[in-house]
Structure 1
Amino acid sequence: MGIPHFLVIPYPIPGHINPLMQLCHVLAKHGCKITFLNTEFSHKRTNNNNEQSQETINFVTLPDGLEPEDDRSDQKKVLFSIKRNMPPLLPKLIEEVNALDDENKICCIIVTFNMGWALEVGHNLGIKGVLLWTGSATSLAFCYSIPKLIDDGVIDSAGIYTKDQEIQLSPNMPKMDTKNVPWRTFDKIIFDHLAQQMQTMKLGHWWLCNTTYDLEHATFSISPKFLPIGPLMENDSNKSSFWQEDMTSLDWLDKQPSQSVVYVSFGSLAVMDQNQFNELALGLDLLDKPFLWVVRPSNDNKVNYAYPDEFLGTKGKIVSWLPQKKILNHPAIACFISHCGWNSTIEGVYSGIPFLCWPFATDQFTNKSYICDVGKVGFELDKDENGIVLKEEIKKKGEQLFQDQDIKERSLKLKELTLENIVEDGKSSKNLQNFINWAM
């Protein structure tokens, strides 16, 4: 009998590519064969063609259907172009890959969300399929529950909540405010796409989650498909990055006192306006702690923000992109001002770092509830009546966090619980082994 051969297909954004790449390195360690399908555009942008990835992973590409000059920060445009153009091309690609190794043909397709069409293609070819959900299991539970939430009148057919209330998806799960549903910032077109994708995802035998039983234990009663295999923390140096990582930050951190630095990063997609950017800059000055701040370049690699005239920034270092897991594990880091994307959340928890939560969109509001209300390892940065986080709020909550010993202890305890899952006999490790056995 041959070895399991996985075809993996991420939606082309870093928040999907990175956890799937980490899963691939884990599978490769278990002796599995991996074929990684990127869009042509994403493959050119991504710095993942390093030697170690090349040794263990075979990279292939298909076009996303857009022109090189098209604006790929328009996610709706990318999403629907992929849905139109890639499905007809996939069967031929599978045929070509299989022809190269008759003994070890593709036995399972792993997709991230938005790429459900590939599960349909695989299903029609008799190939098993699996989803790697890159958000929290709780956000997946919310999406899974859309039909029931509509039937119960909690949300309407466009996903908009009918009244402000707290809902509980299953008896032991934490109560969540309806205004924190993961699709709260979606329009009707994207909400319909989400609901349709959830139906397609039923073709996936497993819904793998980059989380642990301890972090979200009650959520796993929602569906037997949910399988926690996290935290996926392999190979930070082989991370697929769309931007050049600034390695000088680690030297800078070495010169800072232990637990003194505020780390600020809002992931690969979140955007704030100039007014909010000014408040953040001045808030970091007011807090008067060393800070390491990621100001991501725009798509054409230019930074579009202007720093306010009064901004001193003397205590900080500002960079365009970083090897985040290495940064969070550095002893100088005291707290993480984060958008609460799930990858950042799990990396912060894995490193035992308390959070200042600043969610922007999708499941970030659900994750914020877990950080602040369930795990109690962070504070939310509240907005004023105009929807702005003011500099005074950044100073106040930052100082509060620095003085709170309990939050630091809870963060370290949560780290310990999380790490127990990926030791040899840990729950996540066992789940992953069972998954590989099933794929064969």
Structure 2
Amino acid sequence: MAPRSHVCCVPFPGAGHAVNMFNIAVTLANPNMPVHTFVLSRREAEKWLAATGQSKNDYVTIEVLADGKWEDWHADQAMDYFRLLQSPEFSTAVEAAVLAVEEAFPEDVCAALVFNPTMGSLGSVASRRGLRPYLLVPTPYYMIRVGSCHSEGVPLTTKHLLNGIGGSETPVEVEVGDAMDLTTPMWYQVIKPLFENSAGLIYSNTNIGLEGGEFQQPHLPTRNDALKPVFMVGPILPQWYENALEDPTAKDEYLAKAAEKDPCIQFLDAHQPKSVVYIALGSHVELEQWQAEAIIKNLRKHNVRWILLYRNDTQSMRQALGGDDIHDGVVTPWAPQLEIMMHSAIKCVLSHGGFGTMVEGVYAGQCFITSPCASDQFIDSKVMLNLGISLGTLAVNKHVSVAQMPKMVPIWSDDSGKHVEKLFDHVFGTSDGDRALQTAREASLALRRRMKEAKMQDGVTRLEDLRKDITSVS
């Protein structure tokens, strides 16, 4: 009997990134390829695994690092993540976990280590243990491609055109600074070497339906030929979600179950189709309180209902918006995003423009307004505008990397909220705005069709290519 090839996965300890990793783990794992996920916290990991919505896979295990030392660890600032994930203590814990797998399965092969690009020290762990290192990239490929155009002395305002994104005949005009995190010392010193020395790059949320047939954008300068094979195996979404618009039976069951206890779904159930704006800025970005108040003020101006996901100091935010007298919305520290996205009462999604939320919204046929902050959010916002999925953006790019942010909040133009008011007056207060919302939904559905077709034609092949590449070490 041939030895099995074990894969070790290390999720980044943040909801969106971690769900991506668990999606990959569940998708890869089979009797011949068990997958071990090394986590800081079992409690959080079980939440992330459940959040994938994937069916249970008996060949995926959760294994807690350092005997649970970090079970209750929490990052107060973005840099806290990087300090821990790049520390010798973290890499030692991961290496010990790999060694434990090797000792538990002496007849098999521990073949690969899959991790986030910010985990700079894990490349050496893979090298010492003889594992093939793969990076799970949470962004779209086009961000990495734009970032590869940067070199010393290149202004961040240097413009480039992305061709064929989402099948569009109109190029997307972007700036190098839209991929800000790929221009910093951390990128050059820690992350870029990982890219160049990896066995391959795994993209779980994208495919050529979005990226275009010539996704490597050969016309762009400074093409990085050191990048290893690219495995676009996505978007990996729960089956009920991926096919909900064709077969709503499972979707209806999920929404009904959520409605039993979740106030957001209960609120949506009480409202008419396309009447509620969902406001959520991802796992790490948070609106300033005055920004959230400005958004709600302008929605109330047009009698638009809303759900506001606000994690930090939720009670204070709720009181600022009316406390117990709130009847036109919900303020919540947590929301079942997939179920909300699929609810017929959603009118529009106001998001940070993050890639995961973008793809989830596209698969639900939703339209967007964005308030980007960092990472891929500015470039994704431009892509959504180009494809007609977004009706506008509230934030400006001041070229601040995640590592430089004491807290991740979007920066708005200094105009006393006039831009927000003008955009909302048009979108939510005019018949032209109603038509624009419907046109944006249709554009979202068109991209959804492209991405589903590309996954059917190409995704399975890329997944098998990845499995073959992993087992080549054997």
* TM-score over 0.5 (shorter chain): yes
Q: 1:334 offset after TM fit, Å?
A: 2.4
**Alpha-carbon distance, 1:323 to partner:** 2.0
Residues 157-199 of structure 1 deviation map (CA, whole Å, 9 limit, x = unaligned): xxxx2xx442247899633134423339x9xxxx211222111
Q: Sort the Cα spacing of 1:38 and 1:180 in 2 relative to 1 into closer, same or farther, 3 A.
A: same
Does 1:72 find its partner at 2:103? no
1:103 counterpart = 2:107: yes
**Counterpart in 1 of 2:61?**
58
Preserved contact between residue 38 and residue 94 of structure 2 (Cα < 8 Å): no
* Alignment partner of 1:203 is 2:203: no
Name 2:265's counterpart in structure 1: 250
Deviation at 1:361, TM superposition (A): 1.7
Q: Is the 8 A contact 2:112 2:134 kept in 1?
A: yes
**1:402 paired to 2:439:** no
Q: Which moved more, 1:316-325 or 1:10-19?
A: 316-325
Instruction: Say whether the 8 Å CA contact 2:29–2:35 is kept in structure 1.
Output: yes
Displacement of 1:336 after TM fit?
A: 0.8
Q: Which residue of 2 aligns with 1:158?
A: none
Deviations 1:337-360 (A, max 9, x none): 110111111111121111111112
Which AA in structure 1 matches 2:448?
Answer: K
Deviations 1:105-136 (A, max 9, x none): 32111111211321221122221111110111
Residue number in structure 1 paired with 2:345 = 332
Structure 1 CA distance for aligned equivalents of residues 103 and 70 of structure 2: 30
Structure 1 residues 54 and 297, CA, compared in 2 at 3 Å: closer, same or farther? farther
> Structure 1 pair 307/182, CA: closer, same or farther in 2 (3 Å)?
farther
Which residue of 460, 464, 469 maps to 1:429?
Answer: 460
Q: Does 2:357 correspond to 1:349? A: no
**Is 1:281–1:308's contact at 8 Å kept on the other side of the alignment?**
no
CA separation in 2, counterparts of 1:403 and 1:355? 14
2:180 is aligned, of 166, 179, 182, to: 182
Contact 1:262/1:333 (CA < 8 Å) preserved in 2? yes
Q: Output aligned runs, 1:242-391, within 5 Å.
A: 247-297=262-312, 303-305=315-317, 307-308=319-320, 313-373=326-386, 375-382=387-394, 383-386=412-415, 388=417, 390-391=420-421
Distance 1:183 1:386 in 2: 27
CA contact (8 A) 1:230 1:421 kept: no
Distance 1:236 1:269 in 2: 26
Cα offsets for 1:26-82 (capped at 9, x unmatched): 12368631100112xx43444437696583421112259998887612221331233
Q: Which residue of 2 aligns with 1:43?
A: 42
Per-residue Cα deviation, 1:382-433 (whole angstroms, up to 9, x for no partner): 454348563453343344553223222211111111222333xx21221112
Question: Partner amino acid for 2:159?
Answer: E
TM-score by length of structure 2 reads 0.77
1:417 corresponds to: 450
Q: In structure 2, do the counterparts of structure 1 residues 178 and 438 end up closer, same or farther at CA, with 3 Å as the change threshold?
A: closer
Residues 55 and 321 of structure 1: is their aligned pair in 2 closer, same or farther, counting only changes over 3 Å?
Answer: same
What corresponds to 1:241 in structure 2? none
Equivalent residues of 2:134, 2:199 under 8 A apart? yes
**Structure-2 change in CA distance of 1:9 and 1:275 (3 Å):** same
Change (3 A) 1:260 1:169: closer
More deviation, 320-329/286-295: 286-295
Q: Which amino acid aligns with 2:366?
A: I
Contact between 2:200 and 2:229, CA under 8 Å: does it hold in 1?
yes
Measure how far apart 1:102 and its partner are.
2.4
2:198 and 2:96 map into 1 onto residues whose CA distance is: 21
Aligned length: 410
Deviation larger for 120-129 or 50-59: 50-59
1:141 corresponding residue in structure 2:
145
Q: Match for 2:76: what amino acid?
A: S
CA shift in 2, pair 1:108/1:234, >3 Å: farther
Compared with structure 1, are the counterparts of its residues 116 and 236 closer, same or farther at alpha carbon in structure 2 (3 Å cutoff)?
A: farther
Contact 2:39 2:45 in 1 (8 A): no
Structure 2 stretches lacking a partner, 5+ long: 166-170, 218-222, 242-257, 395-411
Secondary structure of 1:167 counterpart: strand
Where does residue 15 of structure 1 map in the other structure?
16
Identity of paired residues, percent? 18
Q: Indicate if the aligned counterparts of 1:35 and 1:59 stay in contact, CA closer than 8 A.
A: yes
Q: 1:271 to 1:293 in 2, by over 3 A?
A: closer
Compute the RMSD of aligned alpha carbons. Answer: 3.3
When residues 310 and 17 of structure 1 are mapped into structure 2, their CA distance, relative to the original with a 3 A threshold, is closer
Q: How has the CA–CA distance of structure 1 residues 220 and 429 changed in structure 2, closer, same or farther, with 3 Å as cutoff?
A: farther
Matched, 1:154 2:169: no
C-alpha contact (below 8 Å) 1:381/1:394 kept by paired residues: no
- What is the CA deviation profile of residues 227-250 of structure 1, one whole-angstrom value per residue up to 9, with x for unaligned ones? 21111113799xxxxxx9963433
Structure 1 match to 2:403: none
Q: Please, which runs of 5 or more residues in structure 1 have no aligned partner? A: 156-160, 238-243
Match of 1:150, SS state, is coil
Cα distance in 1 between the residues matched to 2:362 and 2:59: 28
2:210 aligned with 1:215, yes or no? yes
Contact 1:337–1:356 (8 Å) recurs in 2: yes
> Is the contact made by 1:2 and 1:103 (CA closer than 8 Å) also made in structure 2?
yes
**Relative to 1, partners in 2 of residues 1:14 and 1:71: Cα closer, same or farther, differing over 3 Å?**
closer
1:94 to 88, 93, 98: 98
Aligned amino acid, residue 300 of structure 2: D
Call closer, same or farther: CA 1:395–1:294 in 2, change over 3 Å: farther
- 1:119 and 1:201 in contact (8 A); partners too: no
Match of 2:400 in 1: none
Hey, what does 1:3 align to over in structure 2?
Answer: 4
